[in-house]
Amino acid sequence: MTITSTRIEVRKLAGALGAEIAGVDLARPLDNETFAEIHRAFLDNLVVCFRDQHLTPDQHKEFGRRFGSLNVHPYAPALEGHPEVMTIFKEKEDTANFGGGWHSDMTFLEKPVLGSMLYARDVPPWGGDTMFLNMYSAYEALSDGMKAMLGGLRAVHSANKQYGVDGSEAALLNEQRTMRPKTSTDARKEVTHPVVRTHPETGRKCLFVNRAFVERFDGWTKQESQPLLRWLHGHYTRPEFTCRLHWEENTLTFWDNRCTQHYALNDYHGFRREMHRVTIDGERVF
């Protein structure tokens, strides 16, 4: 399905979420009317991608700044000379990949990020797709009783499982390659966010928990939290809440981290993949 607006074309990727936007060159300055249409498509579809974009790091950052200030990742490597541009790569000989599990970006921050713009610099001939899921739909599919119970809970988020001293293999490998050791005890810092959040722009409610960074429910032990967390992880990853994005070189994809999760598939062993990410700062969740 193609939705034609005044300045852009929006083509749906799947029923749950996701769209391709055509008719725009992100390397050129965007007038306010075109930006407003892109912003509307972003809020409506949660994930939007732009094909065949030829961007310098500065142009990538300029587009990101139209949505807000840019984040500098506290642990992951950055492009030389561009601290706001995070590099995500897997070499031919690597077995682990970065982002290989369902997660929302950087929910361990006191102000979780608004969204991320990922730009494909080097892609394998096959594989390396990214899955996305709609956390609005996951919340709306819950029973009234479950919604009422979750509405009173807060979850404890921490970077420790991914970036702490016992962090993931991919995160540790990136640290070794860049010679920027950042995995340390500071990743054990904990913050709490509501399990059900209200999107600040759309006013819609969505689930806001993820396997990568949630440690437990606030006021609960880890053991007490695990059964409900496992049930929620199984619920929100149901196929009907997902879409799958196929990458091509020079594709830029922008997702709303406030109401989605994503999963980088690791099915291209023997090939290289390099992506550049710009992330937009968010706000405190209440």
Q: Which residues are catalytic?
A: 103, 105, 262, 277
* 144, 174 Cβ separation under 8 angstroms: no
Q: In this structure, how many other beta carbons lie within 10 angstroms of the beta carbon of residue 37?
A: 19
DSSP string, the chain: -EEE-SS-EEEE--SSS-EEEES--TTSPPPHHHHHHHHHHHHHHSEEEE-S----HHHHHHHHHTTSPBP--SSS-EETTEEEEEEEEE-TT----TT-SSB-TTTTSSS--SEEEEEEEE--SS---EEEEEHHHHHHTS-HHHHHHHTT-EEEEESHHHHSTT--HHHHHHHHHHT----SGGGG-EEEEESEEE-TTT--EEE---TTTEEEETTS-HHHHHHHHHHHHHHHT-GGGEEEE---TT-EEEEETTTEEEEE----TTS-EEEEEEEE------
- Owner of token pair 């077995």: 95
Residues 6+ apart with CB under 8 A from 11: 1, 2, 3, 19, 20, 21, 22
Residues 6+ apart with CB under 8 A from 234: none
